[in-house]
Chains A and B, each alone.
Chain A
Amino acid sequence: MRRARDPFFWGLFSAGGMLAALLLPALFLIVAVAAPLGWFGMTAHVDWLALVGNPLLRLGLFGLLFLAFFHAAHRFRYTLYDGMQLYHLDALISVLTYGVATVLTLIAAVVLATAG
């Protein structure tokens, strides 16, 4: 089991890293900045409901969020571990970082399942 842990989380980390790299800049730019401010001829009145109503898009979004949460958690765990030299706290840090990612994933699942 101990041997399973590293490849498992690294797999989530790298899948999430790739998805975040490809999708997040555009998504975040539109949702957080461009649409509300009406940049590039966009409007805040995208028919979000219709988009959110599409189960395929919701499933894709869930995949992105789930992997992005675990990507961030894994990376942050190593930042604390090596960057701050908190080796003795590794167990606690792992529980906290992966724990937060798990909770957020569950919330995302509920929000996306009930949306639309």
Chain B
Amino acid sequence: MPDTVQLEVFRYRPEEEGEPVFDTFEVPYRDEWMVLDALNHIKDHEDGTLSYRWACRMGVCGSCGMTVNGEPVLTCAAYLEAFLPGPIRVEPLRGFPVIRDLAGDLTDFIEKLERVKPWIIREETKDPSEGEYLQTPGQMAAYRRYSMCINCMLCYAACPIYELEPGFIGPAAIALAQRYNLDSRDDGAEERHEVLSEHEGIWSCTFVGECSAVCPKNVDPAGAIQRYKVDATADFFRSLLTPWRDR
């Protein structure tokens, strides 16, 4: 095992230079270090101005996503060892405008997420005194996988369509819409359909499939999108063949 490893870090300092550059740092190599530990080492000992995001260091907050050697990963869950011998290239997530160094502007994702109304919508609510809304384990299994999303946006960074068509609502937002659509307590599917059935909803997707490949939580957004396409198409042809049944 080497004593040190080289990191080539993407730097963008709009006050100083118009175009991004790569800075090379030599950091100690430790078997148990993640890429994030190496970045923290740089920030603590080499260059305190390096900007990036992280919080939990245990793969649950979803804030430390970056592109390492071309792959979108959670840097707190990616061993340095996996990228030996180096140099290891660390860049911000693709698809999002870069504010500074490794930090991107995520506003677009947050706004899209809001548009699919990722919360339980009910036609009738009951008073809390009447008790909770019950659900069987099987009903929960229908959406559970999609509820594991930590909004890390690795799937957006992996999706060439999101980069090409910035209007595309994107993998995680659709998976989260499905998380509520498939919830037995929810009545909001029609409202969400308004957004999802736009061209820039599900129909921009051409099933590249990389979103599911990079997702650290095994959410399978690609599967969620295809299922929604199948359902939307079946509904469409059904209402075409039996128009009298249309509400």
Contacts and interface: CB of A to CB of B under 8 A. Distances in A.
Q: Do chains A and B touch in the complex (CB under 8 A)?
A: yes
A2 B197 CA distance: 10
B232 A7 contact: yes
A76 B190 CA distance: 31
Sorting the interface of chain A by its residue count into under 10, 10 to 19, 20 to 34 or 35 or more gives 10 to 19
Contact of B236 (A7, A78, A82): A7
A6 B165 contact: no
Contact of A8 (B199, B229, B236): B236
Contacts of A6: 197, 199, 203
Nearest to A75: B206
Interface majority SS (helix, strand, loop, mixed), chain B: helix
A10 B203 contact: yes
B229 A82 contact: no
B164 interface: yes
Interface string A1-33: 011101110110010000000000000000000
Contacts of B199: 2, 6
Contact of A82 (B206, B230, B232): B206
A14 B233 CA distance: 10
Interface residues of B, number: 16
Contacts of A14: 229-230, 233
Contacts of A4: 236
Interface in A48-91: 78, 82, 85, 87
B244 interface: no
Contacts of B164: 82, 85
A8 to B, nearest CB: 7
B42 interface: no
B160 interface: yes
A78 B229 contact: no
A39 to B, nearest CB: 35
Nearest to B197: A3
Interface in B133-163: 160-161
Contact of B161 (A2, A7, A82): A82
Contacts of B236: 4, 7-8, 11
Nearest to B226: A14
Nearest to A8: B236
B196 to A, nearest CB: 11
Contacts of B203: 6, 10
B123 to A, nearest CB: 23
Nearest to A7: B236
Nearest to B203: A6
Given A3-B197, A78-B206, A10 B233 contact: yes
B163 to A, nearest CB: 10
Contacts of B237: 7, 11
Nearest to A11: B233
Nearest to A78: B206
A11 B230 CA distance: 8
A15 B164 CA distance: 27
Interface of A: 2-4, 6-8, 10-11, 14, 78, 82, 85, 87
20 contacts: A3-B198, A4-B236, A6-B197, A6-B199, A6-B203, A7-B197, A7-B233, A7-B235, A7-B236, A8-B236, A11-B233, A11-B236, A14-B229, A14-B233, A78-B206, A82-B160, A82-B161, A82-B164, A82-B206, A87-B165
